[in-house]
Amino acid sequence: MSNNTEQGVMEKLVSLCKRKGFIYQGSEIYGGLAGTWDFGPLGVALKNNVKALWWSRFVLGRDDMYGMDAAILMNPAAWEASGHVAGFADPLVEDTKTQKRYRADHLLEAAGVDPKGMKAAEMDAAIKEKGIKSPDGNPLGDVRQFNMMLKTHVGAIQDDSSVSYLRPETAGGMFVNFKNVVDSFHPKLPFGLAQIGKAFRNEIAPRDFIFRLRELEQMEIEYFVKPAEWEAAFESFRKEVREFTKDIGLSQEKVHELEVADEDRAHYSKRTIDFEFDYPFGRKELYGLAYRTDFDLTAHSNRSKQDLSYFDEETKERLVPHVIEPSFGVDRTVLAVLADAYREDELGGEPRVYLALSPAVAPFLACVSPLLKNKPQLVEKAKEVRAALAKAFPGRVAYDDNGNIGKRYRRQDEIGTPFCVTVDFDTVEGKDAPLDTVTLRHRDTGEQERVAIADLAARLVA
């Protein structure tokens, strides 16, 4: 219980996630597949809550946003136009003996050199100058750029003509549908397209649990504005991104903003702010907010020979809108939420592990139990209470009658359930407490209070 080093916390979190059914290693029975993880029943519940909050804030809660769900596979010309085929690369070095590959910037960081802004040749020079070796102690080869797009073949013929890519960002599917949405809905600028979906990156070194993945999920917005209005939209989304981190209950002192230097921005961006989070393994990128200018619409227009300009009915002006892009990793959000919530304390003289998850994201909002499972009148009443609460909070109310009540509380604490509701003899007999009242227990403090069943739903604040 005392190993609370950064690595210790991560090990405990990974183990809790597996034990309790949040997150499992991908293809575990075959020895795994690096950079892939599977979400179990509780993980998917947490993840769905995160995605629902995002969709609610950024799509349902606004009248200038259009939801999308574009295909993962796209015509490869789209990725040529977007610059990903030529430029979506990370700097790679190879251990000359083992042939294992590493990110050059990660090795420099580990050796105390800040790689920010360095080009591949500069990293190469720094590695040689410092005499940096591979983690196995062997000499390293030259730094090369490595394209991270995952290639596949579409159709029956496997040659160059059938090459396609699993999308490396969801953004592309929105740019290629810009004209479709304009034609269908005639939106006025500014407006946005939003979608949640999988993206794939052949990361050289997937690591830190679900932080750096090869198969990941993104929640992205492409917000189209008149060129002169980009700064106002950028500032507005800067605040909205921050608000979203509050929606999911992240400790605000752990969320930071970093103005990304010119040399470190993606090829399409003229300004980027990274939202960083203090993970147990250090301060790392959680989200990005980028000003993509008219880069994408112009590039797709040139390549597809389609007119992707916009005609402003009010000013009678034709223009290519500029784009503000807030981009959120779902998996990094789940990891931030879990790491932020992980707690160890002592309750009733016993050590305890619990997740102080916000009620808004916890897999279950509440768990209902009968005090004893062999008393039919308690069981019947508990099931009735559970059914009533489940109507108010569909899918978010658990039922547990296994083991003694203390064990049930600990089990719910460990998966972050904010409230436990216990139906006891007073509930049905009303001797020492009023009839139709239950015990409501609060996860973080372990405090218990007597609450009327009729008031329960209002007390479980999601």
Instruction: Output 107 or 286, the one with its CB closest to ligand GAP.
Output: 286
- The answer to whether 290 and 325 have CB atoms below 8 angstroms apart is yes
Instruction: Output 153 or 256, the one with its CB closest to ligand GAP.
Output: 256
Nearest-CB residue for ligand GAP: 329
Using CB under 6 A as the binding rule, whether residue 245 contacts ligand GAP is answered as no
The interface region with ligand GAP, picked from 62-70, 211-219, 234-242, 408-416 by CB under 6 A, is 211-219
Using CB under 6 A as the binding rule, whether residue 396 contacts ligand GAP is answered as no
- Distance from the first to the final alpha carbon of the chain: 30
Which of residues 123, 149, 216, 241 is near ligand GAP by CB under 6 A? 216
Instruction: Output 325 or 424, the one with its CB closest to ligand GAP.
Output: 325
DSSP for 63-103, please give it.
SSEEEE---SEE-HHHHHHTTHHHH-EEEEEEBTTT--EEE
Using CB under 6 A as the binding rule, whether residue 58 contacts ligand GAP is answered as no
Shortest CA distance to 410 belongs to which of 350, 323, 329, 454? 350
Which of residues 17, 118, 213, 297 is near ligand GAP by CB under 6 A? 213
Which of residues 47, 167, 201, 408 is near ligand GAP by CB under 6 A? 201
Using CB under 6 A as the binding rule, whether residue 171 contacts ligand GAP is answered as yes
What CA–CA distance (Å, rounded) separates 53 from 113?
39
Strands (E), 229-330: 255-259, 271-279, 282-293, 310-312, 317-319, 322-329
The interface region with ligand GAP, picked from 12-20, 209-217, 231-239, 346-354 by CB under 6 A, is 209-217
In sequence order, what are the beta bridge partners of 92?
A: 103, 144
Residue 203: CB minimum distance to ligand GAP, A: 5
What CA–CA distance (Å, rounded) separates 424 from 406?
14
Using CB under 6 A as the binding rule, whether residue 287 contacts ligand GAP is answered as yes
- The answer to whether 421 and 385 have CB atoms below 8 angstroms apart is yes
Residue 275: CB minimum distance to ligand GAP, A: 8
Using CB under 6 A as the binding rule, whether residue 106 contacts ligand GAP is answered as no
Q: Token pair 């809108």 is at which residue?
A: 321
What single DSSP character describes residue 315?
Answer: T
Contacts of 88 (CB under 8 A, 6+ apart): 147, 148, 149, 168
Which of residues 288, 363, 416, 418 is near ligand GAP by CB under 6 A? 288
Using CB under 6 A as the binding rule, whether residue 327 contacts ligand GAP is answered as yes
Residues lying near ligand GAP in the complex (CB under 6 A): 169, 171, 201, 203, 212-213, 216, 218, 220, 285-288, 325, 327, 329, 331-332
